[in-house]
Amino acid sequence: MTDKKEPLLSGIPSDLPPSYETAQQTPKRLPPPPPFALPFLQTLRTKRVILASQSPRRRQIIAFLGLPHIEIIPSDFAEDFPHTQPIEYVMATATQKAQDVYAREILNEEKGEPALILAADTIVVEPLSGAILEKPRSEAHHIAMLKSLRDARVHKVFTAIVAMAPLSSARDPGYAIETAIEETEVRFDADVTDEVILAYVRTREGVDKAGGYGMQGLGSILVEGIEGSADNVIGLPLKTTLKVIKTVLARADDDERLGSDAEDEEEDEE
């Protein structure tokens, strides 16, 4: 008679989770998703597209659209419009960014004119005073800024998006332009202590961000919740950006057909 011992794990499913040692190993990088198969994006994939911004957050977000020929060409505009009206300020700034890059690149003989120029500007508005909060200028300013947002509890983030596309008809002014503004309400956690704020400030994560915090990173510990688009707070609302791109390309295409129709009518009259 054979003394056959049953395995100790008999009856336990074989698809157990990996061991802690295995789980702690660096996972393989996943391949990028396939391109977003929208017709108006597919037409841009063989053309020159410019993002008129040096923001790494905007570059990361726009990369989701799968535009292989996108160029990062920031504007030289001083962004010195008056801060009296936040909505007017953010839209005027984003528009000037787009027009500044358009004026420089439309006559680029080496690369050719761009099919699309996209610009954006994001501001944080402190609700009690209505002040536009720019990037922090010093550690003391940074601490004071975050404390004011915590004490106010709720503030708003506005992003203006501007898209420009050249008209094939070359009719004045030579381009189609489409704009939009996205608004998101952000609630800071009232229980965030001064100690936490100081520790966050000293990470320097928020030094290059309007409002002094990055919701996509460690700055999320300051935020209790939001109402609206999360990527708007990061710097570029992707859903609204898609709508603006689609609309401006359609307008540029319509203008080309209108120009052709007008020429045909003139020939008929002759």
Q: Which residues are catalytic?
A: 121
Alpha helices in 153-223 (DSSP H): 194-201
The tokens 């017709």 sit on which residue? Answer: 39
106's CB contacts (< 8 A; 6+ apart) are: 113, 114, 166, 174, 175
Q: Using CA atoms, how far apart are residues 154 and 172, in angstroms rounded to an integer?
A: 44
Q: Using CA atoms, how far apart are residues 146 and 76, in angstroms rounded to an integer?
A: 29
92: left (phi over 0), alpha (psi -120 to 50) or beta: alpha
24's CB contacts (< 8 A; 6+ apart) are: none
Q: Are 40 and 9 in contact (CB under 8 A)?
A: no
